[in-house]
Structure 1
Amino acid sequence: MTQAPSFAVISGAQVHDAVAGREEQVTRMVEAAYRLHGEGRTVNPDSYFLRFPDRPADRIIALPASVEGDVGVHGIKWISSFPGNVANGIPRASAVLILNDAETGYPFACLESSIISAARTAASAALAAATLADARGDRPRTIGFVGVGLIARYVHTYLAGNGFTFDALGIHDLSPDHAAGFKGYLERSEKGDITVHDSAESLIRSSDLVVFATVAGEPHVTDPAWFAHNPLVLHISLRDLSPEIILSSCNIVDDVEHCMKANTSPHLAEQQVGNRDFVDGTLYDVLTGKTTPPADKPVVFSPFGLGVLDLAVARYVYNEVAASGALHTVPGFFHDLSRYG
């Protein structure tokens, strides 16, 4: 007779301990999840956005998903984005993730997920940077960060963990204090020149690799001429670039259907031209050699963010914590399990 599983709660501290220093390993997990997704061995429905009429900048997003293979789990991430938190000294995003047993459907763990979300986002970015740069035949030596919050820090950590080194690093943020803080962070690990730029234009023009990690709700970078040197762009925040820039670039996404919604820059481009012909392929297509990005155009990677990636990392964290003997279960969480009492 099948029994209901126990239910565990995994803290952010435990998540951090499970992934810290394992950037390359987490990146390989994310790559494996992308391959399973490309092979049709996942279920990844549309994300659901909970919005608030009186607080248009805030949202909470539900990302349900299911992954086959070694991950073998269902689940959902529930992640909030409240940009005003930053001014109050706490991070913009907070999240939890529920893992469900693949056989019974019972939830068996709740994990703090802001770290999982940041790690899978950064691993996806590092994987894309390596895959696209290697396909073009040249790894970038200069990098610029537009927006320097927690995600930018994780992306830098994961790039370094995947073998990227830079001769020069640029920073641009609307907050001088945030720019200074990120500069201090980079100085602790980087030997290259570090410059805080007054404008996004000067940063973009001087960078071979550009990372957008802002909270922009609509395009604020509009001139394709800024990208005339054909950089590789990790468009993580999805809404920074005008349709004109998207349409003049090689565009790689994580999932076409997911990326073409919620007024992302690719979605705005689709609305402008009435088709998706400007999308050159997915990251899976590049990984499998179906698509090769050109060297004579800007290459923009726009990842909407797939719940299957969160599940892959969360399953790994759960297994690590369980193997260490530090799993905190909740006795009696499932109760009244007899059909007739």
Structure 2
Amino acid sequence: MLILGAAQVRQVLDGAEQDVLSAVRSAYVLHAAGRTVVPHSSFLRFPDDDRNRIIALPAYLGTESPVAGIKWISSFPGNVANGLERASAALILNSMETGHPTALLESSTISARRTAASAALAAAALPAGDTGVALVGCGVINFEVLRFLRETVPSLETVTLFDLSRERSEAFGRRVEEELGGLKVEVAGSLNAALSSHRLISFATVAGVPHTAAEACAPGTLILHVSLRDLTASAILRAVNVVDDADHVCRASTSLHLAEQEVGHRNFIDASIGELLGGSVSLQRAADRLTIFSPFGLGALDLAVAALVADRAQAMGIGTSLPDFLG
């Protein structure tokens, strides 16, 4: 058993954005080709508590060296006010030869970067020469989204920020200037001001229910709807919709789930990201309405990045090895 903590995972992944993008792209294409097994996530919720949850995401990824595993990720939004990260996660990889667990990895960084890579791949697959992006929600996920967007949308020059806490927006902006550099940073005074600022938008919030119909967005805008519950059903129904997996995303009261309940079908979903990346479906960003990418977040993506981390960590000689873990 190889054990990797957060610092070691980051040591492997820092500067490896292109490799993460490649791993996530491959996982999406394999998923579209039926070479993954991704059971529905299991949500553990608690009595008299509608905010906190822990989610289990088991998966199988049929690469040349197949791997199975499970991510166990918690979301406790109250952590932010106490100076802690909202999410924490652990991931176990299993051998497909013996079923034995082979690695235990701290996985919040893996989860954030595979999520960001997913959004960045969608932006690359649906290009429109964007020179700016608006980030709604100034937390870990949108920082990673911006990091990966700079890889797939190199024309970006400006980032506009909006968060319910202006203090958090301003701190986020300072971090962008310090760590990413080369971008003009603006802080929007309202959600609508952010939505009208650019034709590329990323939502990564802790919203539990829809709060905007995105009417301030200009036609031709691509929304990377990473947090899945910000947009009203009406916004979804009038848009071109790309998802990672229709069965996964139309559940757990996501915006698409609410849209499905409203109309009684899923015909408003136009394509999956795996189909676009694999070339089996051709789709362009709509010029006259919104295009919305809604990724539920498949466990197979976590496996792809975790396997990359585990392999490189072993080659680098980092991590803790417990050869007698199973006794």
- Does the alignment reach a TM-score above 0.5? yes
1:280–1:291 contact (8 Å) kept in structure 2? no
Of the three residues 210, 213, 227, the one matched with 2:201 is 210
For residues 167 and 311 of structure 1, what CA distance do their matches in structure 2 show? 33
Moved more, 225-234 or 116-125: 225-234
After superposition, where does 1:301-316 map in structure 2 within 5 Å? 301-316=293-308
- Distance across 2 between alignment mates of 1:126 and 1:307: 18
User: Which residue among 11, 14, 18 is the counterpart of 1:17?
Assistant: 11
Q: How far does residue 62 in structure 1 lie from its aligned partner after superposition?
A: 0.1
CA contact (8 A) 1:97 1:112 kept: yes
**Equivalent residue letter for 2:207:** A
Residue 192 of structure 1: CA displacement?
4.2
- 2:51 alignment partner, SS class: coil
The Cα of 1:71 is off from its aligned counterpart by: 4.5
Distance 1:15 1:70, change over 3 A: farther
For 1:155-194, what aligned pairs fall within 5 Å after superposition? 155-188=145-178, 189-194=180-185
1:201 corresponds in structure 2 to 192
User: 1:10–1:328: 8 Å Cα contact kept in structure 2?
Assistant: yes
Residue number among 139, 161, 177 corresponding to 1:149 in the alignment? 139
Please, which of 97, 105, 113 is the counterpart of residue 107 of structure 2? Answer: 113
Between the aligned partners of 1:143 and 1:71, the Cα distance in structure 2 is 37
Alignment of 1:269-280 (within 5 A): 269-280=259-270
Equivalent of 2:283, from 292, 296, 309?
292
For 1:253, the equivalent position in structure 2 comes to 243
Question: Aligned-residue CA RMSD in angstroms?
Answer: 1.3
For the residues of structure 1 that align with 2:268 and 2:181, how far apart are their CA atoms? 36
Letter paired with 2:294: S
Query: Compared with structure 1, are the counterparts of its residues 115 and 60 closer, same or farther at alpha carbon in structure 2 (3 Å cutoff)?
Result: same
Residues 254 and 282, structure 1, Cα contact 8 Å, conserved in 2: yes
Question: Does the CA contact (< 8 Å) of 1:64 and 1:77 recur in 2?
Answer: yes
Residues 312 and 71 of structure 1, relative CA distance in 2, 3 Å threshold: farther
Match of 1:79 among 69, 73, 91: 73
2:92 aligned partner:
98
Q: 1:254 to 1:122 in 2, by over 3 A?
A: same
Q: Which runs of 5+ in 2 are unaligned?
A: none
Q: Secondary structure at the match of 1:111?
A: strand
Is contact 2:207–2:229 with CA below 8 Å preserved after alignment?
Answer: yes
- What is the aligned length? 324
Question: What is the distance in 2 between the residues matched to 1:13 and 1:162?
Answer: 26
Letter of the 1:219 partner, please give it.
P
Q: What one-letter code is carried by the residue in structure 1 that aligns with 2:168?
A: H
Q: 1:163/1:241 Cα in 2 relative to 1: closer, same or farther (>3 Å)?
A: closer
Asked whether the 8 Å contact 1:71–1:311 carries over to 2, the reply is no
Structure 1 consecutive aligned stretches of length 4 or more whose deviation exceeds 6 Å: none
- 1:4: which partner in 2? none
Where do 5+ consecutive residues of structure 1 fail to align? Answer: 1-6, 336-341
Question: Normalising to structure 2: TM-score of the pair?
Answer: 0.96
% of aligned pairs identical? 47
Residues 223-242 of structure 1 aligned to structure 2 (within 5 Å): 224-242=214-232
**CA apart distance, 1:195:** 1.7
Q: Once the 2 structures are TM-superposed, how far is the Cα of residue 18 of structure 1 from its aligned partner?
A: 0.8
- Structure ID, larger Rg: 1
What is the CA-CA distance between 1:229 and the residue it aligns to? 2.6
Name the amino acid aligned to 1:200. L
Say whether the 8 Å CA contact 2:199–2:217 is kept in structure 1.
no
1:60 partnered with 2:50: no
**Any conservation in 2 of the 1:24–1:162 contact (CA below 8 Å)?**
no
1:49 aligns with 2:43: yes
